[in-house]
Structure 1
Amino acid sequence: MTQVIIDGDACPVTNSVIELTLGTGIFVTIVRSFSHFSTVVQPNHVKVIYVDDGPDAVDYRIVKLAQASDIVITQDYGLASLLLNKVKMVMHHKGFIFTHQNIDTLLEQRHASAQFRKSGGRTKGPSAFTEQDVSVFESIFSSIIKEQISEKEE
């Protein structure tokens, strides 16, 4: 059975995922560090797992939890690269899908930017997350969910 696992510390589409999976039979697991603890009561199809605040603790737990039929949502290129051979799909919160064809380029760009910053250079951060970004994500994610439901019915 498909489950959606969210790298939840800073994911701006968590609420969208919860709403879009409501009533579909698809479960959502949000993995967060204790520094992002929340007392918000989640719907029955949502489970929140808290892990220590250590570096990459959330990533390690996601790798441990992930199964072949899962969809993982993360903005972390390193985590995405670890999951590509393990899960059904790895998706960015802006709606694009991580693949074997694009992950090497993304990792190389991240490395080059880190080296540039290390040598004293300055790079721009990611652009602000907009309502249009939410709409794009929701449209793509809805299509993916519909595919999952039709596969389950076959």
Structure 2
Amino acid sequence: MKIVVDGDGCPGKLLIEKAAKEEKIEVVIFCDINHYITSEYSTIKCVDAGFQSVDMYVMNETKKNDIVVTQDFGVAAMVLGKKAFAIGPKGYVFDEGNIDKLLFERHISQKVRRSGGKTSSPSKRTSEDDDRLYRNLKKLIIKAKELEV
């Protein structure tokens, strides 16, 4: 088991690494060449820039019981199909019970924007988001470890 991070636009790296260190879990962060990410703990894999290039690397790297940190609902849906876990950078856990609704809402928002309409912007990151990310990531780690036994 490892934590795979969609590093393009993913805040919370320090919290992810903190939880991983405590549980002695490998972290792999993917980013494209337009982002500069450093870490003393995680493995950073820089890939070519391009439409969804990081997403494809995240998908290919992810195995059963891995934990993927991404804000992309499409990536979350694909890794759930591989029997991995998915969590957003604000700590919301994606699962079979909520992913279809999230994908549908994303689809509707895209249609509204394509037709010239406006949709709301994501809210700013808060300390509650940080707390939720750390707490829920620790829960997913415990769950994933139980499934490995």
The answer to whether TM tops 0.5 is: yes
**1:37-116 alignment runs, 5 A limit:** 37-38=36-37, 40-43=38-41, 46-116=42-112
Aligned residue-pair number: 149
Bigger-Rg structure (1/2): 1
> Alpha-carbon deviations, 1:85-118, whole Å to 9, x = none?
1142111122222112211111111111111111
Please point out which of 126, 131, 152 is paired with 2:127: 131
State how far apart, in whole Å, the 2-side matches of 1:99 and 1:147 are.
13
SS in 2 for 1:125: coil
Query: 1:87–1:30: structure 2 CA closer, same or farther, 3 Å change rule?
Result: farther
1:84 counterpart letter in structure 2: L
5+ long unaligned stretches in structure 1: none
Percent sequence identity is 30
Q: Report the TM-score, using the length of structure 2 for normalisation.
A: 0.91
Answer whether contact 1:74 1:92 (CA < 8 A) is retained: yes
SS in 2 for 1:81: helix
Q: Report the TM-score, using the length of structure 1 for normalisation.
A: 0.88
> Alpha-carbon deviations, 1:14-72, whole Å to 9, x = none?
1101111115221000000010023x3422xx211011110100000011111112110
2:113 alignment partner in structure 1: 117
2:9 alignment partner in structure 1: 10
